[in-house]
Chains A and B, each alone.
Chain A
Amino acid sequence: MAENQTCVVIGASHAGVNFAFALRKAGWQGNIKLFDADPTLPYHRPPLSKAYLTSADAIDKNLLKAADTYQKEQIELNLGVKVGSIERSAQVVQLQNGEQVAYDKLVIATGARPFIPPIEGIESAEQLFPLRTAEDVENIRQAFEQSEQKRVVIIGGGYIGLETAASLKKLGAQVTVLEREPRILARVTAPYMSDFFQELHAKNGVAVETNKNVVRIERANQQNFVQCDDGTDYPADIIIVGVGIRVNSEIAMEAGLEIDNGIKVNGQAQTSDEHIYAIGDCTYHFNPHYQRFIRLESVQNAVDQAKVAAAAICGKEVNYDTLPWFWSDQYDVKLQMVGLSQGYNEILIRKEAEEHKFSVWYFKDDELLAVDAVNNAKAYVVATKFIKSGEIINKTKLVDSNIEFKPANLL
């Protein structure tokens, strides 16, 4: 491979950083230039709402790679530098500081940003934060320390909102979660799981309120009041917004790349321009197992697509074909998920003897689509094996927790 070639990567987070190291490992001898608007050394995002939020750790305890390994692998890391545009005909990226950088291969790993819904008063609300970056956590920690009453209102009962609720509760906050839908986690899990987490939070003293459509945030007497369309009103010293994300696909779109719910890529993570690849949260990609295009927000997808793009750019034959998996930690509950449950028509629940240990199995007829495993890594592992193999599970045996949990026992 030519030594004088340059691979430019926009975005240095889970996808971009893993890509850069994988590209070196795959034998790329040319330059690798990573750019990220975030000035912090690239770090893990999942702990931001979990253990990192409750710890007193500085971000250097939470880095994706050690600072000196970039140099060791001859990866040029440019932090605090935003890429403004891509000029495909000239094969350059235009930085916002005015410089231009030429590329032979370009990788877009721009991920996503928090969606701030157009709620009246949201722009002028104080002590209101999203949670996606190390700086957000820094701001939340600071506001938290300065707050006397520590009344936190979290808008949005998705994973990030609920994890943040559990973490701030642990730090001694008074937490209320406001969810617009009739149940929390409505988009991602079955009602059984929603009920379980609702109860778990109630038991831990976090008020989770559903059917709460926030319409206004008012500021009076140095306090925020979060108002819902049913007339209810919640005073808040700190507000956290966790209602989902928007994909950072603007620069790809302006460059004329194909966009469809994200940057559209093929099985090699290649966009509609053969010299440009896209990986991670910003992509809309095909999942061979489920035979459809999807967009994922997960470390698994970021890392796996990074490896595929690296191999493809180095001329290896690859095709992205992995099962999605994900986790969430709240209080002492560990949730592990594998597969995609969308399209299920039957749910089976297997409960183990221990409290808070069970798994929810999503089927479409006989096909196992996905499993949510609560404090039950065994269920997660057995499920992964079955989804991969496609073997038919004996449903009667599955729900019988007297039968030892092994694939061979469930046929």
Chain B
Amino acid sequence: MAKIIFITSDSEKVELEADSGSVMELAVQNGVQGIDGDCGGVCSCATCHVHVAPEHFDKTGPASEIEQDMLELDDDANEYSRLCCQIEVTDALDGVVLHVAK
């Protein structure tokens, strides 16, 4: 079981727990504002963009090549950006803070 904390762009804090699936699915299932997941989680739409809290970046690891490429279309992307449909929920994520991108 991992606890995952989303901070939305309205600074709302949403704490959720899960043990499987993708972080995007978790967010959509719980209606986290700003995570749309328009492509259903196949890294094609970039509507699941989060900024990982820098001190937690080792929990998620960096974006894959395809994520990095897709993120180039988003002006709001930085070195801590991830497309969260590509982050699998595992125990290693426990306590991670994710800021939902605008």
Q: Which residues of A contact B (CB under 8 A)?
A: 14, 18, 44, 46-47, 50-51, 61-63, 65-66, 68-69, 72, 299-300, 303, 327, 329, 334, 336, 377-378, 380-381, 384-385
Contacts and interface: CB of A to CB of B under 8 A. Distances in A.
Contacts of A44: 40
Interface in B25-67: 25, 28-31, 36, 38-40, 42-45, 65-66
| 5 closest residue pairs by CB, A with B | A377-B69, A69-B31, A44-B40, A327-B44, A377-B66
25 contacts: A44-B40, A46-B39, A46-B42, A47-B40, A51-B42, A61-B21, A62-B40, A63-B28, A65-B31, A66-B28, A66-B29, A66-B30, A66-B31, A68-B31, A69-B31, A299-B39, A299-B45, A303-B38, A334-B66, A377-B66, A377-B69, A378-B69, A380-B69, A384-B73, A385-B73
Nearest to A52: B40
A61 B68 CA distance: 26
Contact of A65 (B21, B28, B42): B28
A68 B28 CA distance: 11
Contacts of A334: 42-44, 66
Interface of B: 21, 25, 28-31, 36, 38-40, 42-45, 65-66, 69-70, 72-73
A299 B38 contact: yes
A326 B36 CA distance: 17
A309 B84 CA distance: 28
Contacts of A18: 36
Contacts of A385: 73
Nearest to A379: B69
Contact of A381 (B21, B45, B70): B70
Contacts of B39: 46, 299, 327
A61 B40 contact: no
A281 to B, nearest CB: 15
Contacts of A66: 28-31
A381 B72 contact: yes
Nearest to A43: B40
A216 B38 CA distance: 39
A329 B42 contact: yes
B71 to A, nearest CB: 9
Nearest to A326: B44
A20 to B, nearest CB: 13
B73 A72 contact: no
B69 to A, nearest CB: 4
A334 B70 CA distance: 13
Given A46-B39, A299-B39, A303-B38, A61 B25 contact: yes
